[in-house]
Structure 1
Amino acid sequence: MATETETLRDTPISAELVRGAAELERTARGGLLPHRLPGWARAQCADGQLAMAESQPSGVRLAFRTAATAIELDTVPVKRVYAGAPQRPDGVYDLVVDGRLAGQGSVAGGDTVLVDLADGSVEHKAGTAGTLRFEGLPSGAKDVELWLPHNETTELVALRTDAPVEPLPPAGALGRRVWLHHGSSISHGSDAASPTGIWPALAAARGGVELVNLGLGGSALLDPFTARTIRDAEADLISLKLGINLVNADLMRRRALGPAVHGFLDTVREGHPDVPLLVVSALYCPIHEDTPGPAAFDMTALAEGRVNFRATGDPAEVPAGRLTLNVIREELAAVVAQRADTDPHLHYLDGRELYGEADFAELPLPDGLHPDAAAHRRIGERFAEAAFGAGGAFAG
């Protein structure tokens, strides 16, 4: 709590203080809502899953330099409640000071979205802002990053400190390259413990790069607007993790997959012709290795208060073009091999090198699809070694 002698000053939250967001939307309450896709891209798809995913600020953080020893942030979080499922914990904020985790906290209250998984109905309830506070920070000038919850839509309302703040210099001025990563809910951070514990954040820290995370839960579907967003974004390094959503959404057949991947890569290359570009296939996931989608909630597990997923497709339909993870890995490897003759900066990484069958035996996917916190750490460490290490696609 603030002392009687402590004076906190307001600092307007502006785009210069926010890293990892494509756009900040001014809300009716006067706050700022970070978006990871720009407005023109959001306008091209009315899917509710995408709207939820891109508004959850995975990888988004406030970044500034200050001598402050006390920091307060007012936000309006959006809590999602699934009928019949276990209560989701409040989203976690990570405070990083001079590159090290210095504190964690959550904001209670906020808006609530009630989702009935049985009939798909959604009910919204408005709430009020809450306050996150950190105090007792080291004195003297320091670089501060306040990472927003990766899995909780967060409206930024006010920032207060007991000393002035100034935006951190651009990544290049700090000697860091910008790494833009696109992937599924696993890249988004599903089942990770906190925003700096998602595997792309862990890999970025080990690689000494600045992360822009376009991991979009349920939405790594080769959408053209996502490719154009990546094309137009600042990036020194780009990775695309593709596969699991293409299977569990069951939106595509093998005939369409190869040309769609080529088209996505063509668009990215329009804006980044020579940037190191790494295509990563899916992690090991037993339910979809050889069984097509769509994926569905296991209603029996849900009735028992557990969340679990199952594959509902028929393996007998794979010869007719239904997608599985093994099919997609074959197609991705073939596309990259074909293009590599004229694109020496294009690379491929089999996702099972990050999390394979042996890893599943040791660290199983709790819900059948998503890795837990320990597995996120393993994936991040292995990606950093494979991509940023000697001989890797992103080696300095």
Structure 2
Amino acid sequence: MKDDKRKETTGRKYNFVTPSVDGYYGDFGGSYIPEILHRCVEELRQSYRTIIDSQEFRTEYHALLRDYVGRPSPLYLARRMSEKYGCRLYLKREDLNHTGAHKINNTVGQILLARKMGKRRIIAETGAGQHGVATATVCALMGMECEIFMGKTDVERQHVNVERMKMLGATVHPVTTGNMTLSDACSAAIRDWCCHPQDTFYIVGSTMGPHPYPDIVARMQSIISEEIKQQLQEKEGRDYPDTLIACIGGGSNAAGTIYHYADDSRVRIILAEAGGEGIASGHTAATFHCGTPGILHGSRMLVMQNDDGQIEEAFSISAGLDYPGVGPMHCNMVAEGRTTVLAVNDDAAIRAGYELTRMEGIIPAIESAHAIAVLPKLQFRPGEVVVLTVSGRGDKDIETYLNNAPY
């Protein structure tokens, strides 16, 4: 939906990661929902901070992160890559989490929130399948009904993750509208939620959706930067890097990576979005480069759309970055000049994935490979401390890597 009206602001009187009372980050955010969902979204808005700030929640959440997820995830100094790029390159290894990606941090938190609110039926959207697997995992853990919406295109290219979800007891619904990818899965999940507003909790996988979801997801993922601070203090004698790098689609892993550094001017923030076949090709998911303000999936954000406000299809070799919007927190940070976003084309991401694999013995998810691919685009000072988040492991993408091998 096209939205040319901008929310009036009179200077930044907030920190970058905390929304206003009505859910805005500067000009972006809010809650644009059908009337049938108003009651359950309002119930969530009024209760989420009380629940997640409670000692009971925090104790159980952190115990599960430690004993079930396997946190803290390592911060690994990639020595060969460091030598190549002239910096001290640390990799935040979210790929080593249980289920193989950062998504589990969020689903553990949201399933506890859903249980506290008395919900028993869980729905979720997924693209690359990692959020779907993480949601199915925590539903199995808590004995809750789980239904996952996934675009038919992604069902086919992420077959292994689909089977993992089914094995965990989830029902997977292939979505056949649009280009049958992540955006269409989100729309299908919201339609289902409209039909079952009373007993259903929607575990949103990224920093998008109506308020308070962007804030909830960012808070659940903030464990990433919380650990980075502690680990850098141990390894470098200071708790901040010079540069942070992460890939970005909807924005969950990026939010977690930057959360505790968003207002720290000493830290340069670089994000890598999916350029697809090129930002001028018409086959891209580079929302920051090609998007304009609009309403999508309950939030005001940058959206890839035509002049009539119709959503344009996003294209990327990466199912997890194949989304025509981006979360409001990130939109505001770019608008304020806090974050630099670089578009990475499909072929560059594949090359970068192979580079990390052959230089460090780590096969990254193709999403994470987009972050690796920005390294040649940047200049580093000798000894500069760089932290790059490997958001997930590449097991799910092996066929895509092999079919597009650069060697």
TM-score normalised by the chain length of structure 2: 0.29
Instruction: Point out which structure has higher relative CO (alpha carbons under 8 A, 6+ apart).
Output: 2
Task: Return the index of the structure with the highest Cα Rg.
Answer: 1
TM-score normalised by the chain length of structure 1: 0.29
